[in-house]
């Protein structure tokens, strides 16, 4: 019988969305041109050659190694690209993804990547052409809402702050802005350097849609523990209690 | 095993404990009529000029720049010309007090009270008197009586600040620079205590409630000890490692003077050995070479010792939350801001993390919610079973309550805008509740780790790489008794293997250590000698009200010791 990963427990929309993120079975909502994604990332000018840190693997005369024979290199590794990054800040007000679920998505679905997880940002590093492809997938998919999520290489402050009156996540460097036409535009790259031209990222999700697609438990959305006075635990909590208990007892080890 | 479910799996819990203590602080921060629950706001982007303290910094920087002929502080180099203040720069209310100060005022460089707290630790050494008395009596045949002890203490309080005894033509320290230095003695022997001149005695019966005094005297027994606080200016010029040397030198000279000894006789070596090693209690242990710090530096300070240094337990014993949270505040400033933030890391960011644990009454609200809930359910403090199930029940409830407050009050979330701030506060509330309810620090620690896991599960985020690593593998060390990680929480410290590098943990661990004993109404958490030593009325920092003293420091109302202005031209 073929193994079928279960990924995550729970029957709520949050549990279902978490499984979708982890499995990579994501809905595509928009199509940001590759050149625009490259510009926002800010590592190379769109159309410019990739910088490399070593010659293409085929030219390097690699040693006879069974692991190398089993694992095909990514396109970026094969070409010798340098390692670059994309980093996301997701609002706690029902952004579709959260740092850990972006990392789980990356670790499970993206070959040759190095995810890093913090509270206010989530970074994935990979060979440059690989990270460009992974970033476009994130930008285009339901993992991302263009008002509640943004790419921020530095000065990431904003995930836990109240939203702007127009529903945008706070960004002290104002890398994105709401246009009069209701579309969100990227005006600066990840580290806040102005772009040569604004990039139209499309319309943000409605609040209802964001709540439907989110992977965060919240008291005013899908609660994880019910409410004060009426606790009801999601299946994820039951699973977690079990894991915590076993970890604690394992540490005792009275053998 | 597990939490009991009611009808249809819904667990009924009382809501009466929700006090929302943080509302007052938030109104002070954001403005009286502010909508604390709104999820959207107009960001006015008023910049750095909106804040009085930042304006003061800029004005002063101009003077400095003119005086030294080179640039310095300039907030407009921040983020390529975009200064802080794109959101509202809000002040901070010291929890449990009325002090409201700017965030900058809580950086230890700007806060003399925080500095003095640390100075008071590292300038302190406890040295037993009994061993020296045995040398005098048994080896030298000298008579030791209350009269000779009082005479010795008078000489010692002359010599310890850095004054000469016995020798001619010596340099000495200016009494105005070292006026904080003092030595008092204490003992569990009431008869001996009665004979000691009041000015030289830490009177356990006066300083502690009766039950605590009895417990302390029983633990100390007939032994007698010197609570020595060398001058602050000495440890600020040298470091904590000098305290035992400075005190030992003055102790030996004083014995020579008080007991008419020969300065070179071999018995002096016994006195020196007792003063430097055999009868000494350092405030903290020496660290291994890779951390390269001597004794009486913060990295070797155990959580139990810090819990005992804080004196809230003798003035507010009926309120174990207050006791625990004053320990948390002391630890947040010492372990996070000074030890990890400066000794180990450098820079300014750690203050922002650490203040979450002692400002704006948020942690207070979460703790009182949990402890009231537990006391109702189990009939008081330290009455609940000391089990994993207890930690599971209380930590799950308190963590859920805390997360809900962050969700329902976006200004609370905004106040703790970093995930590691929230993680520390939620876990501390869960753990302090579990520890006070059970009277057991390991049960508290179990609650800490469960909170961390629940928090991450709920929001899909926690602190940062290493922070999360520590807490995700942490449950395995709660009940471990392996040699390098198996110590009870009271005996763990800042250099415990898994705790050595992460902000937002160590102060809280000290608070959990305190909470277990505060719940039990114990007189001390770990060491009775430390508890009594820091009851010395001659301390400069107010060890009974940590948070108020930090507030005084921030409000520029606190006078620290160790200043040099007496011997410098006026500014």
Over the stretch B319-362, which tens digit does the pLDDT of each residue have?
Answer: 999 999 999 999 999 999 999 999 888 777 888 889 999 999 99
Claim to verify: residue A200 and residue A116 sit in the same structural domain: yes
B509 in a structural domain: yes
User: Which residues of A fall within a CB distance of 8 Å from B468?
Assistant: 117
Say if the Cβ atoms of A241 and B422 lie within 8 Å: no
The Cα–Cα gap between B167 and B247 comes to: 17
Say if the Cβ atoms of A232 and B9 lie within 8 Å: yes
Claim to verify: residue A199 and residue A238 sit in the same structural domain: no
Q: Any catalytic annotation for residue B353?
A: yes
Q: Considering CB atoms only, which of B14, B417, B479 is closest to A157? A: B417
Claim to verify: residue B521 and residue B412 sit in the same structural domain: yes
Q: Considering CB atoms only, which of A118, A219, A231 is closest to B13? A: A231
Residue A248 C-alpha, separation from nearest chain B C-alpha, in angstroms: 5
**Strands B182-187 vs B224-229: parallel, antiparallel or unpaired:** antiparallel
Claim to verify: residue B414 and residue B319 sit in the same structural domain: yes
Q: Considering CB atoms only, which of B39, B79, B450 is closest to A93? A: B39
Residue B55 C-alpha, separation from nearest chain A C-alpha, in angstroms: 20
Claim to verify: residue B272 and residue B378 sit in the same structural domain: no
B448 — contact with chain A (CB < 8 Å)? no
Claim to verify: residue B344 and residue B204 sit in the same structural domain: no
Say if the Cβ atoms of A120 and B418 lie within 8 Å: yes
Closest CA to B14 of A134, A188, A228: A228
B254 in a structural domain: yes
Residue A120 C-alpha, separation from nearest chain B C-alpha, in angstroms: 7
Q: Considering CB atoms only, which of B397, B401, B458 is closest to A217? A: B458
The Cα–Cα gap between B207 and B212 comes to: 10
Say if the Cβ atoms of A119 and B408 lie within 8 Å: no
Q: How many CB atoms are closer than 10 A to CB A56?
A: 13
Q: What average pLDDT does this structure show over B134-160?
A: 97
Q: B370 vs A103, B96, B426, B474, B506, CA distance in Å?
A: 33, 17, 11, 22, 21
The Cα–Cα gap between B444 and B450 comes to: 10
Domains of chain A: total: 2
Q: What average pLDDT does this structure show over B279-286?
A: 96
Q: Any catalytic annotation for residue B502?
A: yes
User: Which residues of B fall within a CB distance of 8 Å from A99?
Assistant: 460-461
Looking at chain B, the whole-number percentage of residues with pLDDT higher than 90 is: 87
What pLDDT shows up at residue B9? 42
Checking if the pLDDT of B11 tops 50, the result is: no
Mutate to test the interface with B, among A143, A239, A248 (most CBs of B within 10 A): A248
Claim to verify: residue B403 and residue B483 sit in the same structural domain: yes
pLDDT-derived band at B374, boundaries 50, 70, 90: very high
For residue B342, give the CATH number of its domain.
Answer: 1.20.840.10
B411 — contact with chain A (CB < 8 Å)? yes
Claim to verify: residue A254 and residue A200 sit in the same structural domain: no
pLDDT-derived band at B545, boundaries 50, 70, 90: very high
Claim to verify: residue B478 and residue B353 sit in the same structural domain: yes
Residue given tokens 């002063």 in the structure block: B60
Q: What is the pLDDT of residues B420-465, one digit of tens each?
A: 999 999 999 999 999 999 999 999 999 999 999 999 999 999 999 8
In the stretch 16-75 of chain B, residues with CB closer than 8 A to chain A read 18, 38-43
Claim to verify: residue A232 and residue A199 sit in the same structural domain: no
What is the total residue count of chain A? 255
User: Which residues of A fall within a CB distance of 8 Å from B400?
Assistant: 224-226, 228, 231
Which range marks the domain in which residue B203 is found? Answer: 130-278
A151-165, B183-197, B299-313, B341-355, range with the lowest pLDDT: B341-355
Out of B92, B99, B200, B353, the active site residue is B353
User: Which residues of B fall within a CB distance of 8 Å from A118?
Assistant: 419, 461, 463-465
In the stretch 340-399 of chain B, residues with CB closer than 8 A to chain A read 388, 392, 396-397
Say if the Cβ atoms of B461 and A98 lie within 8 Å: yes
A132 in a structural domain: yes
The Cα–Cα gap between B571 and B569 comes to: 6
For residue B152, give the CATH number of its domain.
Answer: 3.30.70.470
Claim to verify: residue A146 and residue A237 sit in the same structural domain: no
Q: How many CB atoms are closer than 10 A to CB A238?
A: 14
Residue B271 C-alpha, separation from nearest chain A C-alpha, in angstroms: 45
Claim to verify: residue B304 and residue B202 sit in the same structural domain: no
**Are A30 and A140 within 8 A, CB to CB?**
yes
Claim to verify: residue A128 and residue A239 sit in the same structural domain: no
Claim to verify: residue A85 and residue A193 sit in the same structural domain: yes
A7 in a structural domain: no
Claim to verify: residue B167 and residue B71 sit in the same structural domain: no
**Which residues lie closer than 8 Å to B523 by C-beta, 6 or more apart?**
B208, B211, B212, B213, B215, B216, B219, B313, B531
Claim to verify: residue A22 and residue A69 sit in the same structural domain: yes
A6 in a structural domain: no
Q: What is the pLDDT of residues B491-539, one digit of tens each?
A: 999 999 888 778 899 999 999 999 999 999 999 999 999 999 999 999 9
Q: What average pLDDT does this structure show over B41-66?
A: 96
Say if the Cβ atoms of B407 and A224 lie within 8 Å: no
What pLDDT shows up at residue B10? 44
User: Which residues of B fall within a CB distance of 8 Å from A226?
Assistant: 10-11, 400
What pLDDT shows up at residue B302? 97
Q: Any catalytic annotation for residue B466?
A: yes
User: Which residues of A fall within a CB distance of 8 Å from B42?
Assistant: 164-165
Whether the pTM exceeds 0.90: the reply is: yes
User: Which residues of A fall within a CB distance of 8 Å from B456?
Assistant: 100
pLDDT-derived band at B32, boundaries 50, 70, 90: confident
B551 in a structural domain: no
Say if the Cβ atoms of A118 and B463 lie within 8 Å: yes
Q: What is the pLDDT of residues A96-105, one digit of tens each?
A: 999 999 999 9
B64 in a structural domain: yes
Claim to verify: residue A184 and residue A248 sit in the same structural domain: no
Say if the Cβ atoms of A232 and B457 lie within 8 Å: no
Looking at chain B, the whole-number percentage of residues with pLDDT higher than 70 is: 97
Claim to verify: residue B270 and residue B304 sit in the same structural domain: no
User: Residue A159 half-sphere exposure, CB side, CA atoms within 13 Å?
Assistant: 30
The Cα–Cα gap between B303 and B301 comes to: 7
pLDDT-derived band at B481, boundaries 50, 70, 90: confident
Say if the Cβ atoms of B15 and A251 lie within 8 Å: no
Say if the Cβ atoms of A252 and B480 lie within 8 Å: yes
Claim to verify: residue B238 and residue B304 sit in the same structural domain: no
In this structure, what DSSP letter does residue B260 have? Answer: T
The Cα–Cα gap between A163 and B43 comes to: 9
Quote the mean pLDDT of chain B.
94
**Which residues lie closer than 8 Å to A120 by C-beta, 6 or more apart?**
A89, A99, A156, A157, A158, A159, A160, B417, B418, B419, B461
The Cα–Cα gap between B86 and B216 comes to: 54
Q: What is the pLDDT of residues A24-83, one digit of tens each?
A: 999 999 999 999 999 999 999 999 999 999 999 999 988 999 999 999 999 999 999 999
Residue B273 C-alpha, separation from nearest chain A C-alpha, in angstroms: 41
Out of B221, B466, B482, B486, the active site residue is B466
- Domain's final residue, options B224, B251, B278: B278
Q: What is the pLDDT of residues A203-252, one digit of tens each?
A: 999 999 999 999 999 999 999 999 878 899 999 999 999 999 999 999 98
Residue A65 C-alpha, separation from nearest chain B C-alpha, in angstroms: 32
Q: What average pLDDT does this structure show over B386-410?
A: 97
Claim to verify: residue A214 and residue A232 sit in the same structural domain: no
User: Which residues of B fall within a CB distance of 8 Å from A218?
Assistant: 407
B542 in a structural domain: no
Q: What is the pLDDT of residues B176-187, one digit of tens each?
A: 999 999 999 999
Claim to verify: residue A38 and residue A151 sit in the same structural domain: yes
Checking if the pLDDT of B367 tops 90, the result is: yes
The Cα–Cα gap between A65 and A56 comes to: 17
User: Which residues of A fall within a CB distance of 8 Å from B447?
Assistant: none
Say if the Cβ atoms of A231 and B465 lie within 8 Å: no
Q: What are phi and psi of A108, to 5 degrees?
A: -85, -35
A155 in a structural domain: yes
A241 in a structural domain: yes
A54 in a structural domain: yes
Q: Which residues pair with B529 in a beta bridge?
A: none
What pLDDT shows up at residue B12? 41
Which range marks the domain in which residue A24 is found? Answer: 13-220
Claim to verify: residue A100 and residue A212 sit in the same structural domain: yes
The Cα–Cα gap between B406 and B392 comes to: 21
What pLDDT shows up at residue B13? 44
User: Which residues of A fall within a CB distance of 8 Å from B401?
Assistant: 228
For residue A124, give the CATH number of its domain.
Answer: 3.90.320.20
The Cα–Cα gap between A229 and B11 comes to: 7
Q: Any catalytic annotation for residue B498?
A: no
Q: What are phi and psi of B271, to 5 degrees?
A: -65, -40
B379 in a structural domain: yes
Please tell me whether the interface predicted TM-score (ipTM) of this complex is above 0.95: yes
Claim to verify: residue B297 and residue B261 sit in the same structural domain: no
Claim to verify: residue B215 and residue B312 sit in the same structural domain: no
Quote the radius of gyration of chain B (alpha carbons, Å): 25
Domains of chain B: total: 3
B314 in a structural domain: yes
A8 in a structural domain: no
Q: 3-class DSSP state for residue A124? A: strand
Find the helix or strand (DSSP H, E) in which A149 lies: strand A149-151
Say if the Cβ atoms of B43 and A170 lie within 8 Å: yes
In this structure, what DSSP letter does residue A141 have? Answer: B
Q: What average pLDDT does this structure show over B393-397?
A: 97
Out of B31, B38, B137, B167, the active site residue is B167
Question: Which is higher by pLDDT, B291 or A139?
Answer: A139
**Are A9 and A125 within 8 A, CB to CB?**
no
What pLDDT shows up at residue B5? 36
């Amino acid at each position: 019988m073929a193994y079928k990963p279960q990924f995550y427990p729970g029957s709520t929309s949050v549990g279902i969305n978490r499984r979708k993120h982890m499995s990579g079975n994501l809905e595509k909502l928009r199509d940001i041109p590759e050149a625009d994604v490259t510009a926002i990332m800010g590592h190379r000018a769109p159309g410019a050659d990739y910088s490399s840190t070593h010659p293409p693997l085929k030219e390097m005369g690699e040693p006879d190694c069974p692991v190398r024979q089993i694992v095909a290199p990514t396109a970026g590794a094969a070409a010798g690209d340098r390692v670059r990054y994309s980093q996301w800040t997701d609002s706690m007000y029902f952004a579709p993804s959260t740092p850990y679920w972006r990392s789980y998505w990356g670790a499970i679905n993206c070959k040759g990547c190095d995810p890093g997880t913090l509270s206010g940002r989530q970074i994935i590093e990979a060979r440059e052409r690989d990270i460009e492809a992974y970033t476009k997938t994130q930008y285009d998919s339901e993992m991302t809402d263009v008002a509640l999520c943004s790419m921020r290489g530095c000065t990431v402050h904003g995930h836990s702050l109240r939203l702007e009156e127009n529903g945008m996540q706070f960004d002290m460097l104002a890398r994105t802005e709401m246009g009069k036409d209701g579309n969100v535009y990227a005006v600066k790259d990840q580290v806040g350097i102005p772009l040569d031209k604004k990039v139209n990222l499309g319309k943000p999700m409605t609040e209802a849609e964001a709540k439907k697609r989110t992977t965060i438990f919240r008291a005013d959305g899908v609660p994880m523990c019910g409410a004060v006075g009426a606790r009801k635990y999601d299946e994820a909590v039951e699973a977690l209690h079990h894991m915590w208990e076993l970890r604690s007892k394992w540490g005792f080890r009275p053998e | 095993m597990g939490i009991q479910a009611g009808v249809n799996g819904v667990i009924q819990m009382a809501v009466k404990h929700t006090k929302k203590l943080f509302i007052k602080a938030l109104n002070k921060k954001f403005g009286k009529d502010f909508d604390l629950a709104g999820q959207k706001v107009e960001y006015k982007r008023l910049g750095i000029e909106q804040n009085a303290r930042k304006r003061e910094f800029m004005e002063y920087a101009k003077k400095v720049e003119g005086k030294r002929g080179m640039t310095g502080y300039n907030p407009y180099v921040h983020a390529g010309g975009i200064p802080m203040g794109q959101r509202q720069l809000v002040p901070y209310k010291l929890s449990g007090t009325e002090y409201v100060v700017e965030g900058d005022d809580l950086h230890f460089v700007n806060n003399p009270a925080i500095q003095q707290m640390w100075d008071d630790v590292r300038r302190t050494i406890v040295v037993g008197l009994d061993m020296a008395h045995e040398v005098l009596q048994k080896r030298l045949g000298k008579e030791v009586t209350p009269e000779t002890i009082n005479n010795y203490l008078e000489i010692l309080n002359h010599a310890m600040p850095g004054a000469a005894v016995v020798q001619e033509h010596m340099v000495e320290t200016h009494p105005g620079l070292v006026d904080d230095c003092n030595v008092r003695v204490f003992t569990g022997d009431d008869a001996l205590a009665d004979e000691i001149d009041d000015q030289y005695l830490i009177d356990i019966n006066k300083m502690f409630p009766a039950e605590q005094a009895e417990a302390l005297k029983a633990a100390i027994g007939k032994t007698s000890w010197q609570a020595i606080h060398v001058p602050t200016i000495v440890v600020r010029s040298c470091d904590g490692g000098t305290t035992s040397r400075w005190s030992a030198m003055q102790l030996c000279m004083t014995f020579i003077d008080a007991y008419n000894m020969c300065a070179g006789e071999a018995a002096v070596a016994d006195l020196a050995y007792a003063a430097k090693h055999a009868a000494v209690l350092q405030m903290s242990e020496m660290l291994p070479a890779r951390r390269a710090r001597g004794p009486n530096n913060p990295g070797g300070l155990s959580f139990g010792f810090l819990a005992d240094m804080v004196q809230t337990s003798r003035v507010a014993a009926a309120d174990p939350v207050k006791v625990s949270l004053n320990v948390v505040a002391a630890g947040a400033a010492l372990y996070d801001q000074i030890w990890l933030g400066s000794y180990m890391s450098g820079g300014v960011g750690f203050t922002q993390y650490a203040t979450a644990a002692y400002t704006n009454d948020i942690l207070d609200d979460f703790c009182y919610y949990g402890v009231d809930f537990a006391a109702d359910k189990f009939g008081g403090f330290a009455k609940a079973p000391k089990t994993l199930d207890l930690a599971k029940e209380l930590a799950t409830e308190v963590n859920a309550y805390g997360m809900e407050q962050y969700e329902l009050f976006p200004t609370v979330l905004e106040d703790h805008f970093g995930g590691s701030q929230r993680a520390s506060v939620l876990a501390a509330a869960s753990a302090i509740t579990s520890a006070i309810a059970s009277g057991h620090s390991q049960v508290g620690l179990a609650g800490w780790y469960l909170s961390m896991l629940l928090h991450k599960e709920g929001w899909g985020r926690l602190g940062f790489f290493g922070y999360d690593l520590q807490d995700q593998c942490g449950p395995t060390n709660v009940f471990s008794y392996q040699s390098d990680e198996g110590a009870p929480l009271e005996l763990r410290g800042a250099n415990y293997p898994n705790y050595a590098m992460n902000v937002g943990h160590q102060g809280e661990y000290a608070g959990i250590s305190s909470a277990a004993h505060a719940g039990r109404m114990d007189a001390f958490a770990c060491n009775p000698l430390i508890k009594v030593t820091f009851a010395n009325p001659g301390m400069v920092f107010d060890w009974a009200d940590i948070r108020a003293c930090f507030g005084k420091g921030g409000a520029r109302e606190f006078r620290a010791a160790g200043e040099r202005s007496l011997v410098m031209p006026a500014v």
